[in-house]
Structure 1
């Protein structure tokens, strides 16, 4: 029997949440196990959820309560502090592009616009679940635009203040292509254990929290091309 991917939904718009739940429930390998209409109740509902979500679809713009904010950024911080194994996929609208880089730096695993078609929703969930990230071309372009606007400089100089070996750069670039551990191992003619070792070294050397953070690092340092 195929293992179901357990999903949590955090979305304040009732109709959108119900529509998304209906879509997800139409796939046999997905199961919605937790829902919340605001950020304030997320942690309590996660604590009570059994099983816990593997993937949390999280709206970036959540409503205030008594004049206080607990938006997608705050929820991301709170969830990952207590439940670091939950993969967070941010749901947002087109004009929130500027937040993508910040969310990934805080540990979110991917970003999906609300007008995405069903196939992309499924692809994004499967990607963050199995590969640790989902950052599509549109998100990469938005991050690059934001960095150019800020005049962001690379995190290390060509002289190599942060030493990445040639092999580590190769692995990083393949990770950015959303390749699995097995696919990278086959491509480079190395073992999956060796790939995992390179990935762990990359996370440490780049101070990235997860695979999505590695993609952001590669983009910041011109190690991948966008466009």
Structure 2
């Protein structure tokens, strides 16, 4: 079975080394490289170093910080999913990073089990949302400055799929629960993206929050 390839980008040497060792010893993941900042990581990719499935990224780094690195990855390497691992827990920052395309946002003080769960979930579904992230998104996208979008005639099946996407079920799990094929789930997901004008799953979650299809 293929191991999930993970790169670590963090300017704190001890933290980076300990995280790398912890991830490597899990047996489920392979660390493709560790980097002090975004410039080093991007350089490794341009030089032909194997791209990871997932990159864990700190925000406060010299030369190229986590926000800049995330934007660079979203633009040039969208196949790499980013997990922000930061000591910043302000809701505004969390919501903005998710809005900018990060697949997950975790506090650096999180438990190892949650980090591993986030890595596996992002690999399987493309995103991971814990209670803090959902709370941040809810407050940002249900703010009085935001008018809910009028749902564009979502079918009952599409609403059901949307709710399960928000609960982090994979396509296979959704198919099993709804007694339909995974291909049909793909069809519903594609329709949801089109009808809600969303680029990805995070967009669907924001749409669901705005229109109260889901809540904390």
Whether these two folds match at TM > 0.5 is yes
> How has the CA–CA distance of structure 1 residues 197 and 77 changed in structure 2, closer, same or farther, with 3 Å as cutoff?
same
> How far apart are residue 94 of structure 1 and its match?
4.5
User: Following the alignment from structure 2 to structure 1, what is the Cα–Cα distance between the partners of residues 68 and 210?
Assistant: 24
**Kept after mapping to 1: 8 A contact 2:149/2:210:** no
Give the gaps of 5 or more residues in structure 1. none
Equivalences, count: 216
1:126 pairs with 112, 120, 127, which one? 120
Which shifted more, 30-39 or 124-133? 30-39
Residues 56 and 87 in structure 1, CA contact (< 8 A), matched pair in contact too: yes
Change (3 A) 1:16 1:96: farther
Select 1:138's aligned residue among 129, 132, 135.
132
In structure 2, the residue matched to 1:153 is 146
Instruction: Tell me what 1:33 maps to.
Output: 32
Distance 2:24 2:13 in 1: 16
1:112 paired residue number: 106
Q: Which residue of 2 aligns with 1:15?
A: 14
> TM-score, length-normalised on structure 2?
0.91
Distance 1:152 1:123 in 2: 34
Alignment of 1:35-184 (within 5 A): 35-48=34-47, 50-63=49-62, 65=63, 70-147=64-141, 150-157=143-150, 160=151, 162-184=152-174
What per-residue deviation string (whole Å, max 9, x for no partner) do you get for residues 138-186 of structure 1?
Answer: 21112223445x42434413xx3x3322221110100111111111111
Residues 32/196 of structure 1: CA separation in 2 closer, same or farther (3 Å cut): same
Matching residue of 1:213:
203
User: Per the alignment, in what secondary structure is the counterpart of residue 89 of structure 2?
Assistant: helix
Any conservation in 2 of the 1:184–1:195 contact (CA below 8 Å)? yes
Cα deviation, 1:37-85, whole Å, max 9, x if unaligned, reads: 112232112223542100111112222x4xxxx3222211211222111
Q: Alpha carbon RMSD of aligned pairs, Å?
A: 1.8
Q: Where does structure 2 lack aligned partners over 5 or more consecutive residues? A: none
Would you say the 8 A contact 1:9–1:17 is kept in 2? yes
